[in-house]
Amino acid sequence: MRLAEPIDQATGLRRLFAGGSAFHAVGILGPDGQRNARVCAELAQGLARRGNRVLVLDEARPPYNVGGMWGLLPRHSLADVPGIGLARAVMDAGPGIRLLATPDAMRTLAGLHERVLRDLAEQWQETPEWMLVNGLGGLRARNACLAMTADTRVLVLPGERDWLAEAYAVLKTGHTAWPGGRWQVLVENADPEAARRLYHSLRGTAMRFLGLAPDYLGSLSGTRLPRGDAHAGLLAESLQAAQPINFEQFWQRMWLFSRMAMEPAAGKGIHAGRYPG
């Protein structure tokens, strides 16, 4: 009997996530981890209030992570899933929002066997409509992370000129690690006029050296966590014409990206990060 499809790694990957429906994956990136988490939390809440199902993958560690913004301290993470199951590792973070802590996410995913991923996939009861991946900040911000694999990436630009070089470095790392896709800039803690100036400065540098023209998502002002409806609405509207990726395909992408980044010979500009903690 001849098999209709060869049994190889690619075939196994296609079968990892059965029944995955279309959804949008968005990576949240920037040089300041606290601001990244704040924006990710704001967007998640805004999308949920629009009636969407949201899954947040939180690559950052406490205290400057999304869980910390919400006053949550997950007892488990992605690394625990093979032993305890997904239901115990994922926690409810409010109406329409689920949170999965994923510290050291790339190393964890790279170490998972394809069979474990398949078992994990079967535990999902309902595919989220949005996955927000809160990337690394601080010293680790220039290292490759899962958030960089999203086709839509929101770069959180702090509202002071001193941060422009660091923000550009994150943009460059993300573009090198996963070329293509769409970049949007959200300026944090600046009035609208100053935010526009910072955005155009960053855009000019990205155009000149990377050939990238990131879009402008808007600005946030103040230090308290605002309601995210407006920016969530802008994000949703800006992606209406975009082709949503399949839930299955995105997990496959993150897994393959992690394995490639963790290969000692991978090189090619992808650095998984070696900072402690």
pLDDT per residue as tens digits for the range 204-232? 999 999 999 999 988 887 544 445 566 77
Between residues 4 and 142, which one has the greater pLDDT? Answer: 142
When mean pLDDT is compared over 21-35, 207-221, 226-240, the highest value belongs to 207-221
Note whether 27 and 153 are within 8 A (CB).
yes
pLDDT value, residue 13: 43
Q: Which two tokens mark 248?
A: 């299955």
| Range 23-262 has CATH code 3.40.50.300 | yes
Q: Which of 154, 151, 175 is nearest to 244 (CA)?
A: 151
pLDDT of 201 higher than 50: yes
Q: What residue ranges do the domains of the chain occupy?
A: 23-262
Helix H, strand E, coil C: the string for 72-106 is CCCCCCHHHHHHHCHHHHCEECCCCEEEEECCCHH
Q: Is the pLDDT of residue 55 over 50?
A: yes
Q: What is the pLDDT of residues 118-139, one digit of tens each?
A: 776 667 767 888 999 999 887 7
Q: What is the pTM of this model?
A: 0.84
Q: Look at residues 44, 40, 29, 69 and name the one whose alpha carbon lies nearest to residue 157.
A: 29
Residue 47 confidence (pLDDT) above 50: yes
- Cα separation, 104 vs 114, in Å, equals 18
